[in-house]
Structure 1
Amino acid sequence: MSENVEATEKKTSPEIEKIDIMNLVAAFWNGFKRLWFVLVIIVIVCTVRSYFSTSFSYTPQYVASATVSVTTPGGSYTNIESAQEMAAIFPYILTSGVLEDVVLNDMGLKSLPGQIEVEAEEGMNMLTISVSSDDPQMAYNVLQSVIKNYPEVAEYIFGETNLQILDETGIPSDTQREVVIRGSYKRGALQGMIISALILCLYVFLKRTVRTKEQLNKHINLHDLGSLPHVRMKKRKKEEYNNLTLLNDRISPAYEEAVRRLRVRVMREAESENGGVIMVTSSVPGEGKTTTAVNLALAIAKQGKSVILADCDPRNPSVAEVLKDQGKHPGIGAVLRGKVSLQRALTIFQIPGTDAEMEVLYGGKPNAADAALLGSRKMDNLIETLRMRADYVILDTAPADLLADASLLGKYVDFVLYVIRCDYTKVNKIRSGIETLTARNVNLLGYIFNDDVNQKSSRYGYGYGYGYGRYGRYGRYGRYSHYGKLKGTGQTEDEAGRVIKE
């Protein structure tokens, strides 16, 4: 007892988890593979936006320049000193407005349409005079006026000086547009990459899903029943080839072997405790519980055991869809309401290519009102009838963290198999679903780690897109369906208790 208390205190005490670099890298890589298309679109959009924004807002600047030599016929300065001094004093001459007034008066303008700069060549009696303007002809005209009038303005400071043109650009052309546009591509792409990196970081750090069994075992203490490998999607024209069940003769051998291992473990546990009514559930929609329940029932039936598969999810019955049965069958709700007999509602399902068969109790048409009957005495009686009729009864139910159906039904079954999809469900959802069941003293046999990419199946397999069903009827939890196929690694075979780690 003291050991249990000590263990509980240890579990509930706050602790800082060490950062696993490899898992973090794997999380970013998985996130990138999941979001790469969106991230590329963001980079493209930012690049195109920057291009058009720069193109439409770009104002060309034309620079007319000339290199002149400075001579002082009778002044007290040498030619080199005069050039250096004229360049140094030029900003003061320009800001004083004297040169500007002279140029404006010479050109007959009211304002100067550009900027004037003067730079002296180091150790030489030469000046480079530049005029920039958005009008090439105006830039050239202002340059000529500055060359003509600059000596007159500088005469009051330096005395008589002469400027002789050595070289000039003439009427300038725009040489910067190509450079500016090329820079806009780079700026836009960089901006897009930064935004994409931020989105990827938020996705990885806020998603908080379980990618490996090692991570999962830090948060829950359930018996590991094994993994079902990730199967790569390859859509086929024939509908039967787009089904992730043992009915698909093109399913990968690795997946079949994983289902067989699951069957062995479940049958061993059931036989050891004389229990044959097994409920399959998960935390949220989209984790593959219905597909797992169907495959488990098929695998046990192929062993020559009598099996009944019951769809106990009246709000969203999915067993018929997974089995590709498009016929009309009375649902479990009709049986519970006494509208049809159990014998009439049960359907014989012959497993193709074998002599094996199983009975199926379909869910019928979606009806939320039928869910209220799952915890009733009628349901208890129905399960007892099914128990006497077959060696194994497999019940597919609604997600445990989503609805109370699984916890209500759990008190009538022998075991519960909990399906957890790799890198799909948030940790708090997994714990909440398990806590909901344990609060009603439901016997959790263990968890199945589904879609485990650490156990990849054949490259020619078929994906999970055809077997997880649609959960739009579950209201706001329908958003889980867009998580798609995500990745994770790791597998263990440790057997532990059934107490949730706090």
Structure 2
Amino acid sequence: MAGSDIAENDVITIDVVGAVKKHVVTAIITAIVVIAGVCGYTFTRTPQYTATAQLMATYRGTTQDTNANSYNAGSSYIQSQIQTYPQLVKTESVLQPVIDNLGLNTTVSDLAKQVTASNPTDTMLVEVSVEDTDPKTSSNIANSVAESLRKQVTSTLYSDDGDKIVSPVNLSVVQQAYVPASPSSPNVAMNLAIGVVGGIVLGVVAAVVRDLLDRRVRQSSDVQAIVDAQVLGTFTRSDVFADVPVIISRPASREAEDVRRLRTNLTFSDTGDDRMPNVIVVTSSSPSEGKTTVATNLATAFAESGSKVLLIDTDVRNPSVAKKLKIEGTVGLTHLVTGQVTSQEAVQRYWKPNFHVLPAGRQTMNPSILLNSRAMKSLIRKVAETYDYVIIDTAPMQVSNDAAVFAKEGPELLLVTGLGVAEKRRLRETDEELETLGIEPVGVVLSFAEQEKQKDNYYYYYGVDGEKKSKHKKDGAAK
């Protein structure tokens, strides 16, 4: 769904599980990239060791300072002074003596990057930590920095022109820094855990975002999220549908069984409430979704079962039934409705005596006027009484609402949706238009579905004598 589509809807329901299933490859790739990135970052970093020394500040009063007020004043003074020590640690007066004493080949600014200091809340403690690639060096520097800080606070800071003044603050090292046994960073276990969790979360997010940005209908759940109708059949993406109806060309194929399944589902979906339940209008939201393929194959399936069937091509703007069935289509519906020919001249027999086809014929007048005429409505009522089933192939709803006009008179409407072809926006517009007109589709047919691998199975084929036989086939061998 594109950003413009999102703005058109007040409420968006995000099917996270469905999005992940649909875009599982995206989710997996995203998770792998994130985990690999975290692992690469973790295992390529140089291990760092951290050593920490602790100092404690006390008030150094005179012998006369024995009353409570003096102790309270001293405590307040220390608390105000100790907050500055973390910044004092990084100064040249503290770090330069450390560099000189240890003979370090570094500068004050570089050493300051390795040193951190803190004053834990509500304590008189100062913690000095040093991070280095060598554990022994980190402990040596931490102890040296702690000692240098102690000297600065207890003496140097309070000297004045060489005159030594006793510092009111006594800073003592209470915990020296020991050589760390293990590196402080990188934290392999924590980083890997973050990488796995982050990879999974970002993978799901990537799948959901891709699903939201996807304009096209990809699977059944996309259709059912928009159209309140059952999926009655699924036609796979197969070259066999490009030829004449599969029940004629490949009667034992899996595709032919899919057509028969649609015929059966439609039979059981008949509510009996419509005035012409045996008339089925086939349409789609936009062109090239496979509606003519569904219409011709469905009509063939009803004819195969012995029903008397009439297939009508009412898509006079872009007729395709005659081309699909490889029959003459210059004379047909347009001539019959306008009284130029009789039904015997316009209707053709196809494949079986009980299967009749009425092509669209050449366009002779405005299609909307023709298909909305009284003559057209009279024709539909007449053929509904004459035939067991009438299949009407109409123009896509994006082109014209002819299908809605027919369905409003009583026939059932079958909506074809091409997976990977239909746009969610177009399908939503079609559903909203049908809902506005009070038309409920009897069901949805999905076309261009991806074929699934089948286990070994028995497929049926027909011998030259017409007898139904069985033969064991491997995956997809029977077509």
TM-score scaled to structure 2, two decimals? 0.52
The aligned residue for residue 309 of structure 1 is 311
CA contact (8 A) 1:68 1:164 kept: yes
The aligned residue for residue 187 of structure 2 is 176
State the distance in 2 between where 1:109 and 1:414 align: 91
For residue 367 of structure 2, the aligned residue among 374, 379, 382 is 374
Q: Deviations over 1:39-75 (max 9, x none)?
A: 66246426624753785699767233156899x9xx9
**1:287 shift after superposition:** 8.8
State the distance in 1 between where 2:231 and 2:350 align: 24
Q: 1:51-62 alignment to 2 at 5 Å?
A: 52=37, 55=40, 62=48
**1:131 shift after superposition:** 0.4
Q: Structure 1: 5+ residue runs without aligned partners?
A: 1-18, 77-84, 213-226, 439-443, 453-458, 462-502
1:251 correspondence with 2:251 = no
1:142 correspondence with 2:135 = no
The aligned residue for residue 455 of structure 1 is none
Q: Helix, strand or coil for the counterpart of 1:189?
A: helix
State the distance in 1 between where 2:177 and 2:433 align: 85
For residue 331 of structure 1, the aligned residue among 306, 329, 332 is 329
State the distance in 2 between where 1:304 and 1:47 align: 56
**1:186 shift after superposition:** 2.0
State the distance in 2 between where 1:177 and 1:304 align: 72
- CA RMSD of superposed structures (Å): 6.5
**1:254 shift after superposition:** 5.8
The aligned residue for residue 232 of structure 2 is 229
State the distance in 2 between where 1:414 and 1:128 align: 86
Q: Structure 2: 5+ residue runs without aligned partners?
A: 1-10, 63-76, 156-166, 215-220, 447-452, 456-479
The aligned residue for residue 87 of structure 2 is 95
1:209 correspondence with 2:226 = yes
Deviates more, 1:107-116 or 1:372-381: 372-381
State the distance in 2 between where 1:228 and 1:194 align: 29
State the distance in 2 between where 1:93 and 1:34 align: 54
CA contact (8 A) 1:45 1:192 kept: yes
CA 1:374–1:315: 2 relative to 1, 3 Å: closer
1:131 correspondence with 2:130 = yes
For residue 190 of structure 1, the aligned residue among 194, 201, 205 is 201
CA contact (8 A) 1:59 1:134 kept: no
For residue 302 of structure 2, the aligned residue among 290, 299, 302 is 299
Identity value in percent:
14
CA 1:420–1:56: 2 relative to 1, 3 Å: same
Deviates more, 1:152-161 or 1:337-346: 337-346
State the distance in 2 between where 1:134 and 1:197 align: 42
CA contact (8 A) 2:334 2:364 kept: no
**1:93 shift after superposition:** 3.6
**Amino acid in the other structure paired with 1:350:** W
CA 1:394–1:163: 2 relative to 1, 3 Å: closer
State the distance in 2 between where 1:59 and 1:209 align: 50
CA contact (8 A) 1:47 1:187 kept: no
How many pairs align?
Answer: 376
**1:398 shift after superposition:** 0.9
Larger radius of gyration: 2
State the distance in 2 between where 1:153 and 1:103 align: 12
State the distance in 2 between where 1:430 and 1:162 align: 78
State the distance in 1 between where 2:136 and 2:251 align: 78
The aligned residue for residue 3 of structure 1 is none
CA contact (8 A) 2:39 2:192 kept: yes
The aligned residue for residue 417 of structure 1 is 412
Q: Deviations over 1:167-186 (max 9, x none)?
A: 32389674425533542332
> Which structure's relative contact order is higher, taking Cα pairs within 8 Å and 6+ residues apart?
1
**Amino acid in the other structure paired with 1:280:** V
**Amino acid in the other structure paired with 2:51:** S
For residue 395 of structure 1, the aligned residue among 367, 392, 397 is 392
